[in-house]
Amino acid sequence: MTALLRYQADLLLRSQRWLPPVILYAAFLAIGVQSGQPVLDSLGYAAAGLLPVAAWLVRICVTNEPDAARACVAAARGPARAHLACLLTALLASALLGVVTTLVVTLVSDPVSNGHRVHVPPLRAGAAGLLAALVCALLGSAVGALTNRPLLRSPGRAVPAMLLAALLSAVLAGSPAQAAVGGLVTGSQSGRVPVPLLPLAGAALVTAGAFAAACALTSRRSP
Amino acid sequence: MAHNGQPYGAPGTEPPATDVSHTGLKITPYRETGQNHPMQRDLRLTAVGRRYGIRGPWVLRGVDLAVAPGTLTRIEGANGTGKSTLLRLLARLDSPTEGRITGRPHTAFVPERFPSALPFTVLGYLTHLGTVHGLSRGTAQRAAGSWLERFGAAAYADTPMARLSKGSSQKVAVAQALLAEPELLVLDEAWTGLDAAARAELERAVAERTAAGGAVVFVDHDPRRLAGVPDATYTVVEGGLKRRTDSVSSPDVGTGPVTLVVVQGPPGRQLPPDALRTVAAAAETVPGTHRLTVPASHSDVLLRVLLTARPPWHVVSVGADGTTPPDPGSRP
């Protein structure tokens, strides 16, 4: 698996297809996050934006290889494991993006609640933001896994489905991402730092299920 | 022999090589030594059917096929009959819609067309694939280098994949499959696009693979490809599989290039069974002197078996088809 992950990560890095989502995400952050704003509010904004980026990175990773090259790798290690390596590479990339973003946002934001009423400890705020970012990275990866190959193969269907699913899972009540981001936003009003462990567990479960389904289907729905 | 002093496979991989001092060859052990990790079980297809989509037409149905270690299997059939689908099932790339596939040998696959749209150099890609196949980085790199050399593509090692010609990228596709010494090698028209030297080299590599206990399954449109060599030939007809029996039991020497090998041993000594398996015809001209006719692709394998036997056989002459071997009694 390590060799597969290293191959996929190298492929992602060298393909440079990660640039558009990352640049778009940076622009999204530049618009919404300014230094001196309440830290929890900004972290919630950053985490919510990570969700579609994670889904997009999954799309990049699972479509990065030509079919023939994918077949060579799949023959060596089995199509399910080869596909899992694509999904995990994308998840790790978006988690890394989430960590860096959380760090930067925590550093530039003011450790206060909305209206500068209550002091918010920056370390705890950063930890809460990191958990929320992970929830969104996980859920976005799940969305990407379920709206790309092997389930939806034509881009005409995959891309709209992916964007719609990413939007819905960010705003619909009951979604772990909505719970995590909502926790940060309300925490910013009250000045109490949330610990979104329950959303994290939920997102991990959903993602494990989505990855398992996608991997199990690769050998059934190819090429 | 044509392998730059590296008779077999990747140098430095698991099977320990033995030095045969009196011949100056380094020999990797064959399957009777049990050191080449033979397949756990045969790969076996039982009543396998495959269709794409829930209501799609059946591409294959009721296919029974067993691929034993050390065998060469040829799959024939007209365009669009489902040969590639069968190969994808054998390589475990696709799951059967119905039926069962058992056995999971370590597999390598050579696709029909290998697009080079990958952001790696040739050596970088092959090293990655080698590690994916379970080799260490160093071993993968060395194996990649030696296979590129065998296929006359060593000059492309540092070339970006995107700049390769069709033939050169096919060499990369072949090298990625061979460098891991797979237990099952699946070739989907792998010869297409290769130059003459590389085509012959691939035939020899296939012979080495089967001699080392690996199974090879191939599809090729050239009927002379490895003619007379396959242990079994199947034809895909109307979604089913028919075993061709005409040319299986007696290899038809006339259809492919052959090599004549004359060897000497003590009178009455039997030729090794591994040698007899590769030859198309054998005759004892003088007691102790054997005249062997072997498909050209398998001459290296035959010589290796004879020279590594204990005690080794004396090779009197090796010649192309039609050349008269020198007087069998004389020693060079």
**Residues B147-162: tens digit of each pLDDT:** 999 999 999 999 999 9
- Which residues of B are less than 8 Å from A222 in CB distance? 88, 93-94
Q: Which residues contact A63 (CB under 8 A, 6 or more apart)?
A: A148, A149
DSSP string, chain A: -HHHHHHHHHHHHHH-TTHHHHHHHHHHHHHH--TTSBHHHHHHHHHHHHHHHHHHHHHHHHTSS-HHHHHHHHHHH-HHHHHHHHHHHHHHHHHHHHHHHHHHHHHHSBSB-GGG-SB--HHHHHHHHHHHHHHHHHHHHHHHHHSSTTT--SHHHHHHHHHHHHHHHHHSTT-HHHHHHHHHHHHHHHTPPP--HHHHHHHHHHHHHHHHHHHHHHHHH--
d(CA A187, CA A193): 6
pLDDT at B8: 39
pLDDT at B269: 85
Q: Look up tokens 């830290």; give the residue.
A: A39
What parts of chain A have a pLDDT lower than 70? 222-223
pLDDT at B287: 87
Q: Does B50 touch chain A (CB under 8 A)?
A: no
Name the residue among B317, B254, B310, B321 with its Cα closest to residue B285.
B317
- Which residues of B are less than 8 Å from A153 in CB distance? none
DSSP letter, residue B326: P
**Contact call for A220 and B110, based on CB within 8 A:** no
**Contact call for B108 and A75, based on CB within 8 A:** yes
What parts of chain B have a pLDDT lower than 70? 1-41, 246-255, 321-332
Q: Which backbone phi and psi does B264 adopt, to 5 degrees?
A: -125, 140
Q: How many Cβ contacts (< 8 angstroms) between chains A and B?
A: 87
Q: Domain tally for chain A? A: 1
pLDDT at B272: 87
For chain B, the straight-line distance linking the first and the last C-alpha, in angstroms and rounded, comes to 18
Q: Which residue range is the domain that position A44 belongs to?
A: 2-221
pLDDT at A76: 94
The CATH number that domain B1-252 falls under is 3.40.50.300
**Contact call for B118 and A11, based on CB within 8 A:** yes
- Which residues of B are less than 8 Å from A220 in CB distance? 94-95
- pLDDT digit string (tens) for B92-142? 999 999 999 998 899 999 998 888 789 999 999 999 999 999 999 999 999
pLDDT at A131: 97
Q: Is the dihedral of CA B167, B226, B176, B234 positive or negative?
A: positive
d(CA B32, CA B51): 40
- Which residues of B are less than 8 Å from A76 in CB distance? 106-109, 129, 132-134, 180, 182
The H or E element spanning position B60 is strand B58-67
Q: Look up tokens 């089967």; give the residue.
A: B210
**Contact call for A73 and B110, based on CB within 8 A:** no
Identify the burial level of B331 via C-beta atoms within 10 angstroms of its C-beta, where 0-12 means exposed, 13-18 middle and 19 or more buried: exposed
Q: Per-domain residue ranges for chain B?
A: 1-252, 257-332
**Contact call for A219 and B93, based on CB within 8 A:** yes
Name the residue among B275, B213, B279 with its Cα closest to residue B251.
B279
Q: Which backbone phi and psi does B224 adopt, to 5 degrees?
A: -85, -5
DSSP string, B207-243: HHHHHTT-EEEEE-S-TTTTTT--SEEEEEETTEEEE
- Of A14, A16, A76, Cβ closest to residue B108: A76
Contact B174, B190 (CB under 8 A): yes
SS3 B82: coil
Q: Which backbone phi and psi does B198 adopt, to 5 degrees?
A: -70, -35
Identify the burial level of A50 via C-beta atoms within 10 angstroms of its C-beta, where 0-12 means exposed, 13-18 middle and 19 or more buried: buried
Name the residue among A55, A145, A137 with its Cα closest to residue A101.
A137
ipTM of the complex: 0.90
pLDDT at B15: 44
The CATH number that domain B257-332 falls under is 3.30.70
d(CA B289, CA B209): 28
